[in-house]
């Protein structure tokens, strides 16, 4: 069975599972596994649709044997083991289930529970047997103490009765029935015979081991699993994004801002001076400056009248949130411009006359910008000073490789980018120093391509896009290149692009055509991949290349952060 047939069969199994046709789904997933025993997604789905706890556990262990970093499978297996009372040590590797046993899982009924089966001590929780023995010893001590106190009280009572009987032999006999109460302090009631002689009360003080009035054996207690507390990220309306979009197919792309909760959509006022095919902008009159406070509180009443030949792409906010850099395309030429946010006079940063100049990324101190361009025939990574706008420096100056998608590390010492320097035509992610010479670290090594890296604000994680699983998926890894993990699972053939971290590292935003609407839109996703929420409004237009604006939640590099290459 070729890979395309396997993929089609897997998709039909997923559809059957989603439609609750579990028997059909199990049969299909088993066929996929028979054809491709290391198909992680098929094992994961087989675990979800299995009707037998043991078979579900075996499937999850198979997933972890294929991909030890599959957090969803590990959490499901941990919950399954807690629910079944499994006492297998965490250090013991999971047993790899045999394929015949899994194939029999759909027809072999599970073993019925024998309620008369003797208890096996080894299967009880660790302290249960010891606790029951302690309770038995304690009960024995209480019984022994209670009997001793009763005997002592009875002996004293007989002595007293004998003494009083001798003294009152010639007097009428008084009859009474003594009552003995066993308690920490037991008192024999006072007897007053008819003769008027008062018998002093007898008080018996018991030790700590006294028999309680009633005793009920304690049931064996099994501690419930401790709930895992996950801190919730702030509400999405506390974040704001800038992005490039159009209102309908064929319209030019312009710049917008919107909250991450899909509210307060506004178009940015941008008037780019025209430039020719050399990338040189023609001088224009400077517009009257508008006070910042008024601009921040009043949205533009009319959309700017832009030529259909001008498109605004790839916006990126400065670290302090006061400026935005973007790519302006006129005809076949793309150049970088920077302006004050949310409106101002765009100032040209590059004059390369290249067909593609994009992926602008601000340095952490806001003084420099990295970008990619094919100005010299192939793609290279460039560095430009924002204040002077001098000729950009070519950091990856070569004619052999494609170098693109640069992103700064939070401390500004190194940058990550995508390059095919390891295998021609296949992009992988690398990290190189910004200043001076130094070692270049290869971060990824897989089939097909990995690209669009972006560093988290604390420096601990890098998100990126890869098509190693046929379509473009969102992955994350530790910033040293280890611990890769996919976030866009079960998304069919959806394509994800342009990842970007929120200023506090609690969210990611990507461009994706997932969901029922095939148009590329903005989606926010949690770093564990469990929450996906559409941001851009439902329309015929597209939304691309979103970047977050800084806010009061922003964080910097972790105190102990320092880039280290795992390879």
**pTM for this prediction:** 0.57
Read off the CATH number of the domain in which 533 is found: 2.120.10.30
| Res 395 pLDDT > 50 | yes
Same domain, 453 and 507: yes
Same domain, 395 and 509: yes
Q: Do 510 and 536 contact (CB within 8 A), yes or no? A: no
The Cα–Cα gap between 177 and 175 comes to 7
Same domain, 105 and 251: no
**Residue 98 is part of which domain span?**
3-110
513 lies in a domain?
A: yes
Assign 24 a pLDDT band (cuts: 50, 70, 90): confident
- Provide φ and ψ at 517, rounded to 5°: -90, 120
**Using one digit for the tens of pLDDT, what is the confidence trace for 454-476?**
999 999 999 999 999 888 999 99
Same domain, 397 and 443: yes
70 lies in a domain?
A: yes
Q: Do 456 and 501 contact (CB within 8 A), yes or no? A: yes
Same domain, 371 and 492: yes
If one counts the domains in the chain, the total is 3
Summary mean pLDDT of the chain:
78
563 lies in a domain?
A: no
Q: Do 300 and 355 contact (CB within 8 A), yes or no? A: no
Select from 86, 110, 134 the last residue of a domain. Answer: 110
pLDDT score for 231: 61
Assign 435 a pLDDT band (cuts: 50, 70, 90): confident
The Cα–Cα gap between 73 and 92 comes to 17
Mean pLDDT is lowest, of 183-187, 251-255, 462-466, 530-534, for 183-187
Comparing C-alpha atoms, which of 259, 269, 265 is closest to residue 295?
Answer: 269
Order of strands, edge to edge, in the sheet holding 508-512?
A: 496-501, 508-512, 521-525, 532-534
539 lies in a domain?
A: yes
Mean pLDDT is lowest, of 34-43, 185-194, 293-302, for 293-302
Comparing C-alpha atoms, which of 471, 475, 502, 472 is closest to residue 487?
Answer: 475
| Res 196 pLDDT > 50 | no
331 lies in a domain?
A: yes
**Using one digit for the tens of pLDDT, what is the confidence trace for 45-86?**
888 888 888 888 889 889 888 988 888 888 888 887 765 544
122 lies in a domain?
A: no
Same domain, 368 and 249: yes
**Using one digit for the tens of pLDDT, what is the confidence trace for 219-257?**
566 666 655 555 667 889 999 999 999 987 778 999 999
Q: Is the peptide bond before 342 cis (omega within 30 degrees of 0)?
A: yes
Read off the CATH number of the domain in which 16 is found: 1.25.40.10
Same domain, 271 and 420: yes
Same domain, 274 and 325: yes
**Using one digit for the tens of pLDDT, what is the confidence trace for 248-306?**
777 899 999 999 999 999 999 898 877 655 555 554 444 444 444 443 444 444 433 43
Same domain, 441 and 544: yes
The H or E element that residue 14 is part of is: helix 3-18
| DSSP structure string for 277-325 | TTSPBPP-PPPPP--HHHHHHS--SS-----TTEEEEEEEE-TTSSEEE
pLDDT score for 309: 73
Same domain, 151 and 250: no
Same domain, 30 and 151: no
Same domain, 8 and 88: yes
543 lies in a domain?
A: yes
| Res 99 pLDDT > 90 | no
27 lies in a domain?
A: yes
Select from 110, 132, 154 the last residue of a domain. Answer: 110
């Amino acid at each position: 069975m070729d890979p395309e047939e396997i993929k089609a069969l897997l998709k039909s199994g997923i559809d059957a599972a989603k439609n609750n046709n579990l028997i059909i789904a199990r049969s299909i997933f088993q066929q996929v596994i028979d054809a491709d025993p290391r198909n992680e997604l098929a094992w994961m789905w087989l675990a979800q649709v299995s009707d037998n706890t043991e078979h579900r556990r075996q499937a999850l262990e198979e997933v972890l044997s294929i991909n030890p970093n599959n957090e969803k499978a590990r959490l499901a297996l941990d919950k399954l083991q807690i629910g079944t009372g499994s006492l297998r040590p965490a250090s013991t590797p999971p047993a790899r289930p045999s394929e015949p046993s899994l194939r029999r899982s759909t027809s072999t009924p599970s073993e019925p529970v024998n309620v008369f089966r003797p208890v096996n001590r080894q299967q009880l929780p660790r302290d249960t047997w010891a606790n029951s023995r302690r309770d038995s010893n304690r009960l024995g001590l209480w019984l022994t103490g209670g009997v001793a106190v009763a005997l002592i009280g009875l002996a004293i009572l007989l002595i007293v009765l004998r003494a009083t009987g001798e003294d009152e032999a010639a007097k009428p006999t008084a009859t009474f029935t003594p009552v003995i109460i066993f308690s920490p302090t037991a008192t024999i009631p006072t007897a007053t015979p008819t003769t008027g002689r008062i018998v002093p009360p007898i008080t018996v003080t018991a030790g700590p081991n006294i028999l309680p009035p009633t005793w009920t054996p304690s049931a064996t207690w099994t501690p419930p699993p401790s709930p895992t507390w996950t801190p919730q990220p702030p509400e999405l309306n506390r974040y704001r994004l800038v992005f490039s979009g159009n209102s309908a197919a064929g319209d030019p792309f312009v710049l917008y801002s919107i909250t991450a909760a899909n509210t307060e959509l506004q178009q940015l006022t941008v008037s780019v001076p025209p430039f020719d095919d050399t990338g040189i902008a023609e001088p224009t009159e400077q517009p009257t400056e508008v006070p910042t406070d008024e601009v921040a509180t009043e949205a533009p009443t009319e959309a700017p009248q832009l030529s259909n030949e001008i498109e605004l792409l790839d916006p990126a906010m400065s670290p302090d949130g006061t400026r935005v850099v973007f790519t302006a395309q006129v005809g076949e030429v793309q150049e970088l411009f920077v302006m004050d946010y949310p409106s101002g006079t765009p100032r040209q940063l590059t004059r390369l006359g290249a067909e593609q100049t994009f992926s602008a990324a601000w340095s952490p101190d806001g003084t420099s910008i990295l970008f990619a361009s094919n100005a010299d025939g192939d793609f290279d990574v460039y560095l430009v000073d924002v204040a002077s706008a001098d000729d950009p420096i070519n950091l990856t100056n070569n004619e052999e490789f494609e170098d693109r998608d640069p992103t700064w590390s939070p401390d500004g010492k190194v940058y990550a980018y995508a390059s095919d320097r390891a295998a021609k035509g296949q992009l992988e992610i690398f990290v190189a120093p910004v200043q001076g010479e130094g070692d270049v670290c290869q971060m990824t090594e897989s089939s097909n391509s990995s690209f669009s890296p972006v560093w988290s604000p604390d420096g601990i994680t890098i998100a990126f896009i890869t098509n190693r699983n046929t379509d473009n998926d969102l992955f994350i890894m530790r910033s040293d290149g280890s611990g890769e993990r996919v976030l866009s699972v079960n998304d069919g053939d959806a394509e994800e692009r342009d990842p970007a971290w929120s200023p506090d590292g609690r969210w990611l935003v990507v461009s994706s055509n997932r969901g029922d609407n095939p148009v590329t839109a903005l989606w926010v996703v949690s770093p564990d991949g469990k929450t996906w929420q559409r941001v851009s409004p439902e329309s015929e237009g597209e939304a691309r290349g979103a970047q977050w604006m800084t806010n009061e939640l922003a964080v910097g590099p972790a105190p102990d952060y320092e880039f280290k290459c795992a390879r």
